[in-house]
Structure 1
Amino acid sequence: MSSPRVMMGGSAERSMDFKGSGKRLLKQLAPDRALLWVMLAAAVLSVGLSVAGPMVLGWATDRVFAGVVGRELPEGTTKEETVERLRSEGDGSLADMLSGVDFVPGRGIDFGAVGEVLLIALALFVVSGLLALVSTRLAIVVINRSMHRMRAEVQAKLSRLPLSYFDRAKRGEVLSRVTNDIDNISQTLQQTMGQLINSLLTIVGVLGMMFWVSPLLALVALVTVPVSVVVAARVGKRSQPHFVQQWKSTGKLNAHIEEMYTGHTLVKVFGRQRESAGQFAEQNEALYEAGFKAQFHSGVMQPLMFFVSNLNYVLVAVVGGLRVASGSLSIGEVQAFIQYSRQFSMPLTQVASMANLVQSGVASAERVFELLDAEEQEADGPSVERPERPAGQVSLEKVSFRYEPDRPLIEDLSLRVEPGQTVAIVGPTGAGKTTLVNLLMRFYEVTGGRIGLDGVDVAKMSRDELRSSIGMVLQDTWLFGGTIADNIAYGAAPGRKVTRAEIEEAARAAHAHRFIRTLPDGYDTVLADDGAEGAGVSAGEKQLITIARAFLSDPVILVLDEATSSVDTRTEVLIQKAMARLAHGRTSFVIAHRLSTIRDADVILVMENGSIVEQGTHDELLTAGGAYARLYSAQFAEAVAEVD
């Protein structure tokens, strides 16, 4: 049996496997690889055209500058003659600079040529923008499809998890992983994936253009890259544990809120509002601290990267100016290079600034993957068996069970229940009464022995078929948001169409028909998701609805686990009469603390410490004067004391 610590994702101090979880998250996108390739192709073309833009604008700048220079020089000479004249006059620096300018003495700015170049640049940027739009749209489609699959995968996983997982896990914590963490992954991918791809492609494309324009300036621009990498690595390493703790704290806070809201009536009855608020404040403060540290450490990265980017800009501007002065580069090429240096620094800064989002998303992804990796219940065997004629005969042969390996609960328990018998199970809390029913339903697997249903080992039956033969009514009622008719019809087999007549027949059998008819909308009365709010339905009436649901399933075996504990005396009598009538032909297991409800049972089992210490009818057990008689006397004395 896995410990709660392992099942819920380990300790809060354990640092996450960022690399492994990140790779696994990216694999979630694999089913849409065709769209990913189209998206990547659109992004490559978009970035390629965008990267070509500054060079085209540089051509326009060269044409304007050449026109300005040519207009100031006398017509009738050539460029070479002008440069030689400047050198002979001792103005070598100006001569070197003009040698790199394609001017014609006496000719001004060719606005037609400049306009053509600008139109080319405009066309490049427009097409680049449209391709970027296509790439972004495809990225959104891929991400939403992936999140749709992940939610479906999580839902399917929850249906395969054993009951022990939910016994140990806090409901609010599980809900936080299914909702908050998956939403955070979705937001992270939508905000970062397209931009990250675009940034990486921009870095590659700009770097190529920079080396094409000037290898020397490119090397100068790359001087600051190691600094950027060191900054990103250091800050990321310090902030990642805080993001892990942030989402763990979020899960704990949600679990506390869910528990306090579910039991808000009891919180008020026992005056625990201040204590509950104190616990909330403590966990809220822990979430604040983790969130603040995570955002602060990751937030430092962007200003540091801007500082490194500005250093890069200064270096490029200085060295580029010297290259223009020497005539090695034109002003337009240096202008284009400065734009490239900014384009090169900007995606680096963007990638760094996205680190907090990526770390937060991967932290949530790990929590979801821990849920998906949780140990599942054993699958049904490839060849399942089924009873030839379901009759309800149940046999337990030397059954043993323990929740923990070193703590036995049920040891060497044997029992045989004939079809149609009503078996009552009584005993003190923790004796193993509900556990016995859970073993019959295969919510837990026996650790030793065998449970048979009509001669077939239940371990060899499919769980669906086994549970379809058993109707169960629990002490805690569960009704979903919907009409009363829908809630009763929920007991029918999946895919089976239930008529209103069948629903009403089940309600009559459970003695629920009368009170349902008194409601304003009758069977069409809508219940809230807590089963009663706004509908005027009491706790006992809710229990009658759940019993009607069990009757509609027409089970071979009927299990009532403290089903009458929340009803009044009159309703209890009605349920007993209904049970006596409906138990005909069915094997019934009744778990009860109130011994007055089981006097008519065919067999009463008295359990203590996981063993059956007595069994017999009500009168036989009272005559024996054993454990059952002591329980009955204690309840009778308690009832007399209450009357007095």
Structure 2
Amino acid sequence: MTHTSGAPGRGSSPAQGHSPAPGRRTKAAPADRLLFSEGRKHLWRTVALFLSATAAAVAGLALPAALGRTLDLLLAGEGAGSAEAGRWLAVCAALTCALVALDAADTVLTGTLNSRVAARLRTRLATHLLALGPLRANRFADGDLVTRCTGNAAHAGTGPSSAASALAAVVTPVGALVALALLDPRLAAVFLAGTPLLVLLLRAFSRTSTDCVTRYQETQARIAGRLVEALSGARTIAAAGIGQREGARVLEPLAELSGHGHRMWRVQGRATAQAAVLVPLLQVAVVAVGGLLLSGGELSVGGLVAAARYAVLAAGIGTLVGQLNALVRGRTAAQRLAEVLAVAPMRAGRRTVPDHTAPGASGRLELCGVRASYGGEPVLRGVDLAVPGGATVAVVGRSGAGKSLLAAVAGRLVEPEAGRVLLDGTDLAELDPSALRRAIGFAFARPVLFGATIGEALAAGIPGQREGHEARVRAAAGAACADEFVRTLPYGYDTPCEQAPLSGGEVQRLGLARALAQGGRVLVLDDATSSLDTVTELKVTRALVGAEEGLGGQGRDGRAARGARTRLVVAHRASTAARADLTAWLDGGRIRAVAPHAQLWEQPAYRALFGSGRDDG
């Protein structure tokens, strides 16, 4: 189970990258709760946007009445210079200016609200993913998570603003219908005759659009997942000469994506076309009735102009379709975020690790009845292992035996399904996460360097202020046999990570140096020297034994210096196991034996773990 950056290898879990079936009504509640909670976090902006949009709708409703009244005054013989006509002209101008100003405010509020909600959702999602641990996050493909954290978060970020705008948009048709009733109840009755058709049209559009958007986003995530896989395996693809085939595999869902996209446009186009037929009929009917009322002297010319405009506003299906489309898109994206947030994070306590000078604080690590699965298959089946304080214990076993999973559980990168992991008698589940990470350091087979420069990457795990980190970083790099080649880089420890031409073995030594600089009572080495040649590995191992005093250890002699830190080492080489104090033989999901390497070497089955048995061990 070799892995990158400390996660047990990403397998093909059945749930990986898949979402629940689209359009399920039972799945809508989490998305609604997520959008509601984000709207509450930005309540004043959401309310301000709603009030602004509502005020714009009210101003838009008042303008036809003001225009109609002004027209009636002008037709009655009162010139534009008369006092009353001038006042109504001023009202029309004021309403027009208000609409322009409110539209500008709406644009600013919508943009800021969308960006802030999207940023908060991305932060919340990233924080939650880090709290899940590698194994629980593995149920989602890398590309799928990238899509959810970027495009889906951006679309979900429009949810609160879309909801506020959609609610305000309802004011326009409802207000226009009320205005028609005030002008003459018969005008409103004519319009209401066609309202059920409008409602059915909107309902059908909302349902079909939700399904289209859901399928489109899922297919988009599948393409992103395949692209990330191809990029991570670019060297293998180039070496095998299968670039064309992999390109076709990545783009294979593109036809499906295009189909969903075209379906979305067809749904929207069909709704617009149906509205284009229905809405003019309603408008014509209202104007026709208004004309009859005008001929009978029951409605003025200005009233007819206002009635025609209110008929347009009442049938404002285009605006509602646009608002509904944005709301559906945001709500569907929020559901994809809610699926990730619904995965429970690992439990975390509040206890701190006792000081190393406290009685019994030797760094003893114990696994008691630990059970853990990977990809739905049980791997560790009741592991009991005690690592004495200050000792080095190598974990060996066949490929796939669960060595990396055991290492991840031992350092609580993965939460066991059953059993406990104790550090000096304290359950790791009861420790505060920051205290836990200070107590247990990790070095991996393929580490990833985080930081602008090499020096910052090595100091990433050191607690406290950065001012005093330089000496500690250099001492750790020396212990990991990395200081010499770092000094040859263009700017030494200040060399930007992306400009550092590093081999796999050099990156591995930097990862080891980072773990050493972090300090802590326990160091877990998950195949952390696999890329080193035998001579360099021997140098690193010897340096580690004597490096603890320079890195904060409390050793009093050569052997006691090792006691400053407990080590759990995932080993694939017999030489690595031979240098450990004890070797834990993992077989069939359980610890088969714990003894010195030389003692276990007498057993043929143990020697078979290392091939022919003719290793330098």
Mapped contact 1:16–1:244 kept (Cα < 8 A)? no
Matches within 5 A, 1:548-567: 548-567=513-532
- 1:358 maps to 327
Paired residues, what number? 585
Give the secondary-structure state (helix, strand or coil) at the position aligned to 2:600: helix
Mapped contact 1:483–1:526 kept (Cα < 8 A)? yes
Matches within 5 A, 1:63-142: 63-67=73-77, 110-113=79-82, 114-142=85-113
- 2:5 maps to none
User: Alpha-carbon deviations, 1:312-358, whole Å to 9, x = none?
Assistant: 12112211111111111111110111111112222x32102333332
TM-score normalised per structure 2: 0.87
- 2:142 maps to 171
**For the residues of structure 1 that align with 2:101 and 2:56, how far apart are their CA atoms?**
8
Matches within 5 A, 1:311-350: 311-346=281-316, 348-350=317-319
Letter in 2 for 1:564: T
**For the residues of structure 1 that align with 2:417 and 2:47, how far apart are their CA atoms?**
51
> Of 426, 435, 444, which residue of structure 2 is paired with 1:456?
426
User: Alpha-carbon deviations, 1:345-385, whole Å to 9, x = none?
Assistant: 22x321023333322221101101111111222232x6677
> Of 259, 262, 267, which residue of structure 1 is paired with 2:232?
262
> Of 565, 570, 573, which residue of structure 1 is paired with 2:538?
573
Deviation at 1:44, TM superposition (A): 3.7
Deviation at 1:489, TM superposition (A): 0.6
**For the residues of structure 2 that align with 1:460 and 1:552, how far apart are their CA atoms?**
25
Letter in 2 for 1:474: F
- 1:59 maps to 69
User: Alpha-carbon deviations, 1:51-86, whole Å to 9, x = none?
Assistant: 22212221232234334xxxxxxxxxxxxxxxxxxx
- 2:151 maps to 180
Letter in 2 for 1:619: A
Is 1:630 paired with 2:608?
Answer: yes
Mapped contact 1:7–1:374 kept (Cα < 8 A)? no
**For the residues of structure 2 that align with 1:18 and 1:416, how far apart are their CA atoms?**
45
**For the residues of structure 1 that align with 2:420 and 2:115, how far apart are their CA atoms?**
47
User: Alpha-carbon deviations, 1:173-216, whole Å to 9, x = none?
Assistant: 112111110112235655x4564344222223222221111111
Alpha-carbon RMSD? 2.8
Percent pairwise identity: 27
- 2:553 maps to none
Is 1:582 paired with 2:550?
Answer: no
- 1:292 maps to 262
Note closer, same or farther for the CA distance 1:219–1:591 as it changes in structure 2 (3 Å cut). same
Deviation at 1:265, TM superposition (A): 0.9
Name which of structure 1's ranges 31-40 and 116-125 shifts more when overlaid on structure 2.
31-40
Mapped contact 2:582–2:595 kept (Cα < 8 A)? yes
Mapped contact 1:386–1:461 kept (Cα < 8 A)? no
TM-score normalised per structure 1: 0.84
Letter in 1 for 2:123: A
Is 1:504 paired with 2:482?
Answer: no
Deviation at 1:567, TM superposition (A): 2.4
Note closer, same or farther for the CA distance 1:45–1:452 as it changes in structure 2 (3 Å cut). closer
Is 1:201 paired with 2:171?
Answer: yes
Letter in 2 for 1:480: F
**For the residues of structure 2 that align with 1:238 and 1:470, how far apart are their CA atoms?**
52
**For the residues of structure 2 that align with 1:456 and 1:296, how far apart are their CA atoms?**
61
**For the residues of structure 2 that align with 1:502 and 1:338, how far apart are their CA atoms?**
79
**For the residues of structure 2 that align with 1:225 and 1:23, how far apart are their CA atoms?**
31
Deviation at 1:625, TM superposition (A): 3.1
Matches within 5 A, 1:428-577: 428-493=398-463, 495=465, 497-528=467-498, 534-577=499-542
Mapped contact 1:249–1:286 kept (Cα < 8 A)? yes
**For the residues of structure 2 that align with 1:545 and 1:56, how far apart are their CA atoms?**
75
Mapped contact 2:13–2:376 kept (Cα < 8 A)? no
- 1:592 maps to 571
Mapped contact 1:16–1:241 kept (Cα < 8 A)? no
Letter in 1 for 2:199: V
Letter in 1 for 2:603: G
Is 1:606 paired with 2:579?
Answer: no
Mapped contact 1:475–1:562 kept (Cα < 8 A)? yes
Deviation at 1:166, TM superposition (A): 2.0
Return the structure number with greater relative CO, CA threshold 8 A, min gap 6. Answer: 2
Mapped contact 1:525–1:535 kept (Cα < 8 A)? yes
Mapped contact 1:16–1:366 kept (Cα < 8 A)? no
- 1:86 maps to none
Letter in 2 for 1:556: R
Tell me which structure has the larger Cα radius of gyration.
1
**For the residues of structure 2 that align with 1:307 and 1:248, how far apart are their CA atoms?**
34
> Any unmatched runs of 5+ in structure 2?
1-11, 549-561
**For the residues of structure 2 that align with 1:402 and 1:315, how far apart are their CA atoms?**
71
Give the secondary-structure state (helix, strand or coil) at the position aligned to 2:138: helix
Letter in 2 for 1:576: T
Note closer, same or farther for the CA distance 1:271–1:325 as it changes in structure 2 (3 Å cut). same
**For the residues of structure 1 that align with 2:114 and 2:389, how far apart are their CA atoms?**
55
**For the residues of structure 1 that align with 2:126 and 2:174, how far apart are their CA atoms?**
41
Give the secondary-structure state (helix, strand or coil) at the position aligned to 2:530: coil
**For the residues of structure 1 that align with 2:376 and 2:48, how far apart are their CA atoms?**
57
Give the secondary-structure state (helix, strand or coil) at the position aligned to 2:373: coil
Letter in 1 for 2:205: V
- 1:28 maps to 38
> Any unmatched runs of 5+ in structure 1?
68-108, 529-533, 640-644
> Of 372, 376, 401, which residue of structure 1 is paired with 2:345?
376
**For the residues of structure 1 that align with 2:37 and 2:517, how far apart are their CA atoms?**
45
**For the residues of structure 2 that align with 1:632 and 1:221, how far apart are their CA atoms?**
85
Is 1:15 paired with 2:56?
Answer: no
